[in-house]
């Protein structure tokens, strides 16, 4: 059985768990990372010398990096509906994944850390203005795109492009700070919530 190494509240681990549910693969999970066993322990380092979650062990095939794992699972299960076979469509899908994992997530990260990870009292935590401005810029770009496209990033069909973006969009709505009204993004958030796997691992009350 496939094993997932990583805590279930990690945004990157949640991408993998979401994808596993989408393809219907059974798995077991071990808690590693912040708040659980440190990934610097020898047992984890034997799995991955990089010391970060998630990592999967699929009957001896070990793979790290959430984006790569999501694409691997799509290929393993022959899910061309989730990861297009056409090379141009696949490239566009990967571009969205990269944008969400880097530009979008990196802008959200300092806000999340200030309000949740490093805050002694999350209820009174203040979002850093610079981080909010950077994150808002990326969300406004997403709003502009979705206003003329959608309902998903690749058009009418849900794909792996929506997994990293959907996790950060959940974080945007879950954290409380001043933000602009983004109706197209809100509609996207609701559309994703129609998927049981997203309700379980994305829009589940965890930022």
Domain holding 28: CATH number?
3.40.30.10
How far lies 23's CA from each of 1, 92, 146, 162, 192, in Å? 14, 21, 26, 15, 16
Are 173 and 102 in the same domain?
Answer: yes
**What pLDDT score does 123 carry?**
78
**What pLDDT score does 143 carry?**
98
Structural domain boundaries enclosing 27? 2-76
Are 109 and 162 in the same domain?
Answer: yes
Domain count, the chain: 2
pLDDT per residue over 3-56, tens digit each? 999 999 999 999 999 999 999 999 999 999 999 999 999 999 999 999 999 999
Are 191 and 105 in the same domain?
Answer: yes
H or E stretch covering 132? helix 129-148
**What pLDDT score does 125 carry?**
86
pLDDT per residue over 71-103, tens digit each? 999 999 999 999 999 999 999 999 999 999 999
- CATH number for 106: 1.20.1050.10
d(CA 36, CA 39): 9
Are 95 and 194 in the same domain?
Answer: yes
Q: Is residue 15 part of a domain?
A: yes
Are 98 and 192 in the same domain?
Answer: yes
Q: Is 23 exposed, middle or buried (0-12, 13-18, 19+ CB in 10 A)?
A: middle
Are 132 and 159 in the same domain?
Answer: yes
Are 116 and 155 in the same domain?
Answer: yes
pLDDT of 120 higher than 90: no
Among 52, 76, 100, the domain boundary falls at 76
Among 23, 57, 76, the domain boundary falls at 76
pLDDT of 177 higher than 80: yes
Q: pTM of this prediction?
A: 0.96
**What pLDDT score does 69 carry?**
98
Are 186 and 120 in the same domain?
Answer: yes
Mean pLDDT of the chain: 97
């Amino acid at each position: 059985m496939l094993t997932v190494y990583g805590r279930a509240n990690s945004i990157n681990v949640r991408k993998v768990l979401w994808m596993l549910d989408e393809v219907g693969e059974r798995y077991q999970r071990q808690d590693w990372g912040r708040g659980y066993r440190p990934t610097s322990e020898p047992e984890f380092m034997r799995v991955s010398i990089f010391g970060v979650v998630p990592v999967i062990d699929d009957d001896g095939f070990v793979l790290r990096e959430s984006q790569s794992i999501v694409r691997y699972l799509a290929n393993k299960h022959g899910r061309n509906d989730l990861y297009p076979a056409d090379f141009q469509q696949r490239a566009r899908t990967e571009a969205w994944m990269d944008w969400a994992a880097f530009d979008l997530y990196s802008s959200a990260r300092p806000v999340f850390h200030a309000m949740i990870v490093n805050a002694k009292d999350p209820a009174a935590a203040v979002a850093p203005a610079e981080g909010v401005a950077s994150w808002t810029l990326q969300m406004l770009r997403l709003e502009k795109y979705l206003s003329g496209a959608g309902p998903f990033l690749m058009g009418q069909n849900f794909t792996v492009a929506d997994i990293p973006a959907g996790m950060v969009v959940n974080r945007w709505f879950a954290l409380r700070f001043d933000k602009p009204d983004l109706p197209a993004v809100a509609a996207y958030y609701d559309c994703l919530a129609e998927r049981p796997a997203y309700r379980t691992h994305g829009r589940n009350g965890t930022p």
